[in-house]
Amino acid sequence: MYTFSNRLKIASIVLMIVGALGIIGGFVMAPGTIAEAKEMVASHDGGHGDAHAAEAEHATKESDHAVAESHGEEHDASHDQHLLDQLKNRPWAALYVAAFFFMMISLGVLAFYAIQRAAQAGWSPLLFRVMEGITSYLVPGGIIVFVILLLSVLHMNHLFVWMDADVVAQDALLQGKSGYLNPTFFLIRAAIFLAGWIGYREYSRKLSIAQDDSDDNSNFKLNFRISAGFLVFYLISESIMSWDWIMSVEPHWFSTLFGWYIFASMFVSGITVIAMVTIYLKSKGHLPDVNDSHIHDLAKFMFGISIFWTYLWFSQFMLIWYSNIPEEVTYYVTRIADYKLPFFGMVAMNFLFPVLLLMNSDYKRINWFVVLTGIVILAGHYMDIFNAIMPSTVGKNWYIGIPEIGSVLFFAGLFIFWIFRALSTQPLQPKRNPFIEESRHFHY
């Protein structure tokens, strides 16, 4: 039995407190009036005039924007209101990105776990309790994301522009989408998805524990069947979730492989966290039967799925870049214009770094190497979600400051607290999984 060490517990609580202070600080610092917003921007880069001129030039290039924004004298006023909205959005967006990121990790682990179950994999049963521990975060994490979405629907923030009835009234495209993209249906979908994911997680965990004391394999077989069924539900729900929760912050834009793209991100982050938690537990003397080959296999997945993520990132980027259709290409134009460093930095962190570090077979067995690469991969995929949400919600007023770091620290603390608390409730090694012997002798 693993006991949640006091040091780790205190560390996670400290992270939560510091993070909560950062989140509160972010909301306190957000401007309340247009004057405050202008003052903040002026003191921030000193030369707002230049930026403004550049934007005006930018607007004339994008014909569809120019039509919407060129109202002469009205322009300045609407621009200022826009600036205020963006700055007010920033703490919300920071909170949402971090909440989604940590929820996504446990959801990615859940998918990996269901695949192991459905494939009846022989190598991984020793890691099942670690995976179940990480997926336990889906309950608080999913509910927090749902609450943020609910607050968006209640107009506490302006993350999702299509929720604003005034905007929709002037926008033919959004009117056309409103049969699907309306607040009520949006929340119903979110509730169905979360209920399905959490329901599978809890049921599969129950069967997994029941299998330990059972005298036949009925729990194991039932788990296999529900996992296969869950994967069908997951593929559909995850795809729709990615349109709803991420793609819809930019409601005019669409990409047909977006679901896969977000899936790759959550899958690689999840596998990375499995490897890191396993290495941590092993370093504390737990999981005695987990050997180098298990870590090697997880590192192979980290390597492979990083390349898979890059493949999807590039497939999405290249087609849109090549066809150069205004309604599609604006997505990348804003990101390359205003988010150059995070946008391309993310590709380096999510592709070049893991490819070069984990290419050598032997390095996949060196624990500190896997952890180091894992930290970069996790930071890179946080940036991935950041790049998906921020340009559409705060525009060029982004910065990685107190609200962003505070949110990450808070959810990291909650994540650590929750998963290690869950890990300490059951023995770390399943006793009666029919494949446990194979897993113990696993060597690649």
Partner 1 sequence: MASKVIHAFYDDDDVLMLAVKKVKAAKLHIDEVYCPFPVHGLDKAMGLAPTRLAITAFLYGLVGLTVATLMMNFIMIEDWPQDIGGKPSFSYLENLPAFVPIMFELTVFFAAHLMVITFYLRSRLWPFKEAENPDVRTTDDHFLMEIEIHDNEQELRDLLMNTGAVEINISEKNSH
CB of 314 to partner 1, least distance (A): 6
Query: Could you say whether residue 359 binds partner 1 (CB under 8 A)?
Result: yes
Query: Could you say whether residue 444 binds partner 1 (CB under 8 A)?
Result: yes
Query: Could you say whether residue 443 binds partner 1 (CB under 8 A)?
Result: yes
Instruction: Give the nearer residue to partner 1 in terms of CB position, either 70 or 324.
Output: 324
Instruction: Give the nearer residue to partner 1 in terms of CB position, either 332 or 339.
Output: 332
Q: Are 190 and 244 in contact (CB under 8 A)?
A: yes
Instruction: Give the nearer residue to partner 1 in terms of CB position, either 153 or 319.
Output: 319
CB of 121 to partner 1, least distance (A): 16
| Contact string 155-184 vs partner 1 (x = CB under 8 A) | ------------------------------
Q: Look at residues 89, 203, 195 and name the one whose alpha carbon lies nearest to residue 146.
A: 195
CB of 39 to partner 1, least distance (A): 39
Answer for which of 324, 375, 427, 437 binds partner 1 (CB under 8 A) is 324
C-alpha span between 138 and 270 (Å, rounded)? 12
Answer for which of 224, 254, 308, 321 binds partner 1 (CB under 8 A) is 321
Instruction: Give the nearer residue to partner 1 in terms of CB position, either 92 or 442.
Output: 442
- Residue 374 has, within 13 A of its CA and on its CB side, a CA count of 27
Q: Which residues make Cβ contacts (< 8 Å) with residue 369, sequence separation at least 6?
A: 357, 358, 363
Query: Could you say whether residue 314 binds partner 1 (CB under 8 A)?
Result: yes
Q: Name the one residue in this structure whose structure tokens are 């999807």.
A: 312
Instruction: Give the nearer residue to partner 1 in terms of CB position, either 283 or 361.
Output: 361
Query: Could you say whether residue 369 binds partner 1 (CB under 8 A)?
Result: no
The single-letter code of the amino acid at 195 is A
Answer for which of 57, 322, 341, 368 binds partner 1 (CB under 8 A) is 322
CB atoms within 10 A of CB 157: 19
Q: CB under 8 A: which stretch of 130-138, 145-153, 281-289, 355-363 binds partner 1? A: 355-363
Query: Could you say whether residue 63 binds partner 1 (CB under 8 A)?
Result: no
Query: Could you say whether residue 317 binds partner 1 (CB under 8 A)?
Result: yes
CB of 395 to partner 1, least distance (A): 25
CB of 321 to partner 1, least distance (A): 5
Query: Could you say whether residue 60 binds partner 1 (CB under 8 A)?
Result: no
Interface residue list for partner 1 (CB under 8 A): 314, 317-318, 321-324, 359-361, 443-444
